[in-house]
A and B are shown apart, each in its own frame.
Chain A
Amino acid sequence: AQSVSQHNHHVILSEAASLELGCNYSYGGTVNLFWYVQYPGQHLQLLLKYFSGDPLVKGIKGFEAEFIKSKFSFNLRKPSVQWSDTAEYFCAVSTGTYKYIFGTGTRLKVLA
């Protein structure tokens, strides 16, 4: 079955630390890849997306992600986190125009 795995369920970092959140998926065909963020009390919003082209994609608020096709991975990175990055992060894979699979989410807490 198609699935998306986010290995880190809870992450706690100090401000200015570097962040990497893992995302792996199981699907052998063409995919579109997404990272969404949900700040406390707010709705899900798109951080970044990969459809095609350069596998290193940059999103909002200094986030980036790299698509490594051979590893079926789309890890999210940020060189220096801020307290305001405290949120829940979801990786999602689309395998068609109406087929989306979400990971279970990673709760990030950044200590000031």
Chain B
Amino acid sequence: DVKVTQSSRYLVKRTGEKVFLECVQDMDHENMFWYRQDPGLGLRLIYFSYDVKMKEKGDIPEGYSVSREKKERFSLILESASTNQTSMYLCASSYLPGTESYNEQFFGPGTRLTVL
């Protein structure tokens, strides 16, 4: 059973705090992604990674950074949390060449972050 796990389901932080969101996949996928999900806006891509130590900005990278030191792990970092970063954060992974689902994204359960 394929899995993408995220370190927390719910998180409450204060403005200015540094926040780490962790994501782990066990499917040997090449690509990993961080999205934020807001009502009426769908999923917006923050950052993605196509290989260890490689990262690319998505559509809304401001205020975020990422780290991928191992293939299975992708971290999202909020350097100084702000109230407008209150959101649901979704991690996804994809791309296993040679398989039927090679380009399908698999999602984690999400982390609902509240910044006070």
Contact across chains for A43 and B50 when beta carbons are under 8 A apart: no
Interface of chain B, helix or strand or loop or mixed? strand
Question: Chain B nearest CB: distance from A29 CB in Å?
Answer: 14
Interface residue range, chain A? 20 to 34
A26 adjacent to chain B (CB < 8 Å): no
How many of B's residues come within 8 Å of A, CB to CB?
26
Contact across chains for A46 and B104 when beta carbons are under 8 A apart: yes
B80 adjacent to chain A (CB < 8 Å): no
Select which of B42, B48, B106 is within 8 A of A90 by beta carbon. B42
Contact across chains for B31 and A104 when beta carbons are under 8 A apart: no
Contact across chains for B48 and A98 when beta carbons are under 8 A apart: yes
Question: Chain A nearest CB: distance from B11 CB in Å?
Answer: 16
Contact across chains for B103 and A103 when beta carbons are under 8 A apart: no
Contact across chains for B90 and A44 when beta carbons are under 8 A apart: yes
Instruction: Please name the residue on chain B nearest to A45 by beta carbon.
Output: B107
Chain B interface (Cβ < 8 Å from any Cβ of A) = 30-31, 33, 35, 40-45, 48, 50, 56, 90, 92, 94-95, 101, 103-110
